[in-house]
Amino acid sequence: MKHNSFPFAPRQTRNVTLYGARTCIGLEPEMWRALEDVACREQLTLPRLIERIDAFRLKSGDDVPPARLTPAIRVFLLSYYRDIAEGQRPSLRPVSPWSQTSRAMDK
């Protein structure tokens, strides 16, 4: 799939309703497209996928502060597509940006 956007396009901020409250998330256009692609592949709404990423982010461990949501989304997408590139079933369990490894935990 070829996209015509420049890979370093400015971030786009979108309002997303998570847990019944609106929040703003700023991602590059390619990251938004990737997130929408994953939501479609996994038959989830975009807010539900982001809620899953957020829930895991907040459970990153007592000894480690939770990462911010935007980097957690980027790390999740990297891990998801890396699994596909390696011929594995992608994990829906996001990887904590604070973890020592960027591999999904439930392979």
Q: Enumerate the domain spans of the chain.
A: 12-85
| pLDDT tops 80 at residue 98 | no
What pLDDT is stored for residue 55 in this prediction?
87
- The predicted-structure confidence for 30-70, as pLDDT tens digits, reads as follows 999 999 999 999 999 999 999 999 988 887 666 666 778 99
Quick one: pLDDT at residue 63?
64
The pLDDT > 90 percentage for the chain reads 53
Domain 12-85 homologous superfamily, CATH: protein bp1543 (1.10.3990.20)
- pLDDT of 90 reads 84
Report DSSP letters for 67-91, one per residue: PPHHHHHHHHHHHHHHHHHTTSPPP
Question: CA-to-CA distance for 21 and 30, rounded, in angstroms?
Answer: 25
